[in-house]
Chain A
Amino acid sequence: MKSKLYALGALLVMLMGLLAACGGSSSTTTAGGKTVITLWTHSAGNASEMSTLNKEVTSFNGSHSQYQIQIQSFPQASYNDSVSAAALSHKLPCILDMDNPTVANFAWSRYVQALPVTDSDVQQMGLLQSAIGRYQGKIYALGQFDVALTMFARKSILQKYNIRIPTLDQPWTANEFNDMLSKLKSSGAFQFPFDLNPQYGGEWLPYAYSPMLQSFGGDLIDRKSLTSADGTLNGPAAAKWGQWFQGLFKNGYANPKPSSDQGFLQGKVALWYTGSWATDDVVKKYGKDALFLPSVNFGTGPKIGGGSWEWGISATCPQQASQGASQFIKFLMQPANIALLNNATGLIPTTPAATSLVPRYATGSPYRILFDMLQRFTVMRPPTPAYPTISSSFQKAAQGIIQGSDVQTNLDNAVNAIDQDIQQHNNYQQ
């Protein structure tokens, strides 16, 4: 009898615990009359981005008495998985930041709602195209900053080997670039003269290498129809890119598996192709000897990637909170706040009004070239819900090409995977 009582008691306690855990937490509840708006960001651990966000939220909460924004920060590596998991369990926050190429997929999956922002609004702001997340003509996300892919080099090294310093209007041509790499390699001073960070993996591969593919004349997918990559990703132009790219590693110009990305800063590498987030480190190390150079023109002009983390509102955010959320996003896009973020992080502002408030990118500054490159050379990653598949297929193809397997087979397999995925989804119609 006693054992039965103990058993019942234990069961009751466990049931209560289960219920407490299951008790859903809605994303907005009133606390002291204010509408609480939850915000998720991927910037956990990034001191400058978090401190700026905290300042902006405090300022907004102070000036809008009916709203209170609460920040929850996540580490970047698991952020997208957390968003997917929250979407599955209908527990998305009201405001969340998203990487630009995933916006179309989130919009198609109905994670996020369209912002009350029109094309003329963004035109008035002069917002960079790469800072807008679009899907089917509607705007779903806006970004405060962007990054430019840059070739870092040292003036002294280029002069020593008689290499021309390129300008925006006169970038290196393919032949020039190949000759240059051959010269640097045969000098014996650099085991691997060119560092393009293949070890980063993940989204870096399409972000950094598809602009080169586009400069050769190929692309990730046919942008007019967005339904097939056949002929674009495995056509003759793409095959040329693949052969050149494989040649970099075959000829020993680039290391297929660098153990770190510090080669340029340690003087072991002559050319470093990476994002402009590295400018501070480069300038600290090399000062006036540092050069920020445009990408190579492989045929259709130099191209760089664009589009970074942008702010949007989830589809499950209640009416009242959504209004507050869109006010907050408009607040974030004011020149003063964009300037606040980019002054703290050294990244590139996305509107001309904000740029005038960021001394680093003022006309005449040596960093201005980064802003100009972003304006002139950016090609967006394809704004389609199929992008996650395009990205993973391209990653697999790029890694196969780096390892030396047949270029055409790798590209053909990527095209097969992308086309089949789009067909399985009925061209991603809703």
Chain B
Amino acid sequence: MSVITGATKQVQVIRPQQRKHLRGNLVTALILGGPAFLLLLVFLIGPFFMGVAFSFTDERLVSPVPAQFIGTKNYSQMLQVSILTLDPVVDPTTNQPRHDAHGNLLYPSVRTFTQNEQKYPQYFQLEQWFSVNLGNQRFVVLAHDPTFLHSIFNNIFFALVVVPVQSGLGLLLALLVNQKLKGRNFFRTIYFSPVVTSMVVISIVWTFLYDKNVGLVNHMLKTVSFGAIGPVNWLGSPSTAMWAIIIMSVWQGVGLQMILFLAGLQDIPEQLYEAASIDGANPVQQFANVTLPGLRNVMVFVFIAITIAAFQLFTQVFVMTQGGPNDATSTVVFNIVQRGFVAQNIGYASAMSVVFFLFILAISFVQRYATREKKGK
């Protein structure tokens, strides 16, 4: 191809023989790239659109009855939320509220509202997600699929904790192994090795570490605190299960962030540090004004990558807690697999994956917007 550049315009002139040559190149490119495109189409793009199509039907994994179009029923069931206000049960003779054996107020059973289609159609077939007591009244949050909503909440919580912690630790480790100390290659390898170990293997090992009675984590806590910290049921208690998974996931993934930040650190020219120290900047000021701006591109990439990976949390949950005590560690991907392959409800699972896709897309856009290069006026 000959390109004639003028001072004010660029013109591409392609001679006829070269056009044929171009077309020949194009054909070769298509042939060589064809199988890969075919695979992408069959295993990525095709199922994507199939999933969207399935989400509007009641498709089952295996069923002698063919699937039927049911419109947006899957979506409305998934996202249906209601609030039910309960007043305490009143003794009809004394007009005083009743109390149970522990002195707590008694409230009518939620089931009387959710299984009565005639009287309370708006609450029909909903389940209790959680309830809040305010004053004398109890507010019960009802949902058709509390597990799904809880899973979204778990995913958001996981991402909110893991993204800053893992990035922060990764940066810290990168700064440490960037020092010109003996044995820094040894440490780099050690910190990176969890990343290359199979997540399934790590999950199984950490299940033993977290065991309440014989786990090493509890032993270590007991020794370090001289017996003050008793055995914690890490994976069996709803309040600690998610934290247990967070700690393990951060430990596994931090090596990758370390390597990325290390590469970013080594990209920052030495002269900038020298110039800063000549100007009288102390190490903290150097870090804030030279290191951090220099790492900007790496940080943007790391944040977006960790966020997307955090929302894909599945393996640890599947191996260690199976959705956890009372849905405490249930994540959206785990829920989709449970619904789609175990309960065999493909239509509903497809609807969940479409909603999740849109959710992550929105988050990515927000992140991209927040970290965009601000163009000068």
Residues of A within 8 A of B (CB): 1, 3-4, 7-8, 10-11, 14, 81, 84, 87-88, 108-111, 201, 230, 256-257, 259, 388-389, 392, 399-400, 403, 405, 408-409, 412-413, 416, 420-421, 424-426, 430
A403 touches B236 (CB 8 A): yes
B212 touches A8 (CB 8 A): no
B343 touches A416 (CB 8 A): no
21 contacts across the A-B interface (CB closer than 8 A): A4-B24, A4-B31, A7-B32, A8-B31, A11-B32, A14-B35, A84-B61, A109-B62, A109-B63, A109-B64, A110-B64, A201-B322, A259-B208, A388-B343, A400-B325, A403-B325, A408-B109, A409-B128, A413-B127, A416-B127, A430-B64
B342 touches A7 (CB 8 A): no
A11-B35, A421-B343 given as contacts; is B28 within 8 A of A4 (CB)?
A: yes
Tell me if B371 counts as interface (CB < 8 A to partner A): no
CB distance from A242 to the nearest CB of B (A): 15
B344 touches A257 (CB 8 A): no
Cα separation A388 to B345 with both chains bound (whole Å): 12
Cα separation A269 to B325 with both chains bound (whole Å): 25
Further 6 A-B residue pairs, CB within 8 A, beyond A257-B236, A403-B325, A430-B64: A3-B28, A109-B64, A257-B233, A259-B208, A259-B211, A424-B345
Cα separation A255 to B240 with both chains bound (whole Å): 19
A108 touches B64 (CB 8 A): yes
Which chain B residues lie closer than 8 Å to A403 at the CB level? 236-238, 325-326
Cα separation A84 to B32 with both chains bound (whole Å): 36
The interface bits of chain B over 62-92 (1 if a CB of A lies within 8 angstroms of the residue's CB, else 0) are 1111000000000000000000000000000
A7 touches B28 (CB 8 A): yes
Which chain A residues lie closer than 8 Å to B32 at the CB level? 7, 10-11
Which chain A residues lie closer than 8 Å to B291 at the CB level? none
The residues in B between 94 and 145 inclusive whose CB is less than 8 angstroms from any CB of A are: 109, 111, 115, 125, 127-128
Mostly, the B contact residues are: loop
Tell me if B164 counts as interface (CB < 8 A to partner A): no
Which chain B residues lie closer than 8 Å to A11 at the CB level? 31-32, 34-35
Tell me if B27 counts as interface (CB < 8 A to partner A): yes
Q: How many residues of B contact A (CB 8 A)?
A: 37
Residue of B nearest to A11 (CB): B31
Tell me if B213 counts as interface (CB < 8 A to partner A): yes
Cα separation A84 to B27 with both chains bound (whole Å): 42
Cα separation A430 to B63 with both chains bound (whole Å): 9
Residue of B nearest to A10 (CB): B32
Residues of B within 8 A of A (CB): 24, 27-28, 31-32, 34-35, 58, 61-65, 109, 111, 115, 125, 127-128, 208, 211-214, 233, 235-238, 322, 325-326, 341-345
Which chain A residues lie closer than 8 Å to B326 at the CB level? 400, 403, 405
CB distance from A223 to the nearest CB of B (A): 21
Cα separation A78 to B35 with both chains bound (whole Å): 31
A4-B24, A430-B64 given as contacts; is B31 within 8 A of A416 (CB)?
A: no
A420 touches B125 (CB 8 A): yes
Mostly, the A contact residues are: helix
Cα separation A1 to B27 with both chains bound (whole Å): 11
Which chain A residues lie closer than 8 Å to B24 at the CB level? 1, 4
Which chain A residues lie closer than 8 Å to B127 at the CB level? 412-413, 416
Which chain B residues lie closer than 8 Å to A392 at the CB level? 342-343
Most chain A beta-carbon neighbours within 10 Å: one of B24, B214, B325: B325
Cα separation A416 to B62 with both chains bound (whole Å): 22
Which chain B residues lie closer than 8 Å to A111 at the CB level? 62
A88 touches B62 (CB 8 A): yes
Give 9 nearest A-B pairs by CB, closest first: A7-B31, A403-B325, A7-B28, A110-B64, A7-B32, A4-B28, A109-B62, A3-B28, A14-B35
Which chain B residues lie closer than 8 Å to A201 at the CB level? 322
CB distance from A408 to the nearest CB of B (A): 8
Cα separation A364 to B192 with both chains bound (whole Å): 64
B214 touches A259 (CB 8 A): yes
Residue of B nearest to A234 (CB): B111
CB distance from A275 to the nearest CB of B (A): 22
CB distance from B349 to the nearest CB of A (A): 13
Which chain B residues lie closer than 8 Å to A405 at the CB level? 326
Cα separation A4 to B233 with both chains bound (whole Å): 64
Cα separation A4 to B21 with both chains bound (whole Å): 11
Most chain A beta-carbon neighbours within 10 Å: one of B34, B62, B237, B343: B62
Most chain B beta-carbon neighbours within 10 Å: one of A256, A408, A416, A425: A416
Cα separation A257 to B237 with both chains bound (whole Å): 11
Which chain A residues lie closer than 8 Å to B125 at the CB level? 416, 420
Cα separation A360 to B199 with both chains bound (whole Å): 46
Which chain A residues lie closer than 8 Å to B236 at the CB level? 256-257, 403
Which chain A residues lie closer than 8 Å to B238 at the CB level? 403
A412 touches B64 (CB 8 A): no
A412 touches B111 (CB 8 A): yes
Which chain B residues lie closer than 8 Å to A230 at the CB level? 115
A257 touches B342 (CB 8 A): no
Cα separation A4 to B238 with both chains bound (whole Å): 61
Residue of A nearest to B62 (CB): A109
B343 touches A389 (CB 8 A): yes
Most chain B beta-carbon neighbours within 10 Å: one of A14, A230, A257, A389: A257
Which chain B residues lie closer than 8 Å to A4 at the CB level? 24, 27-28, 31
Cα separation A421 to B322 with both chains bound (whole Å): 21
Cα separation A62 to B215 with both chains bound (whole Å): 55
Residue of A nearest to B58 (CB): A424
Cα separation A257 to B213 with both chains bound (whole Å): 9
Cα separation A400 to B236 with both chains bound (whole Å): 10
Cα separation A328 to B344 with both chains bound (whole Å): 32
Residue of B nearest to A192 (CB): B213
Cα separation A388 to B341 with both chains bound (whole Å): 11
Cα separation A53 to B368 with both chains bound (whole Å): 61
Cα separation A194 to B28 with both chains bound (whole Å): 71
CB distance from A376 to the nearest CB of B (A): 34
CB distance from A199 to the nearest CB of B (A): 10
CB distance from B32 to the nearest CB of A (A): 5
Residue of A nearest to B342 (CB): A392
Which chain B residues lie closer than 8 Å to A388 at the CB level? 342-344
Which chain B residues lie closer than 8 Å to A426 at the CB level? 65
Cα separation A201 to B125 with both chains bound (whole Å): 28
Most chain B beta-carbon neighbours within 10 Å: one of A392, A400, A403, A409: A403
Cα separation A400 to B32 with both chains bound (whole Å): 55
Which chain B residues lie closer than 8 Å to A259 at the CB level? 208, 211, 213-214
Cα separation A38 to B29 with both chains bound (whole Å): 45
Contact partner of B62 (CB less than 8 A), chosen from A3, A84, A400, A409, is A84
A84-B61, A88-B61, A421-B343 given as contacts; is B34 within 8 A of A257 (CB)?
A: no
Residue of B nearest to A430 (CB): B64
CB distance from B117 to the nearest CB of A (A): 12
Cα separation A405 to B62 with both chains bound (whole Å): 34
Cα separation A167 to B128 with both chains bound (whole Å): 44
Cα separation A11 to B212 with both chains bound (whole Å): 57
Cα separation A201 to B212 with both chains bound (whole Å): 18
Cα separation A421 to B235 with both chains bound (whole Å): 30
CB distance from A426 to the nearest CB of B (A): 8
Cα separation A8 to B212 with both chains bound (whole Å): 62
Which chain A residues lie closer than 8 Å to B28 at the CB level? 3-4, 7
Cα separation A10 to B63 with both chains bound (whole Å): 41
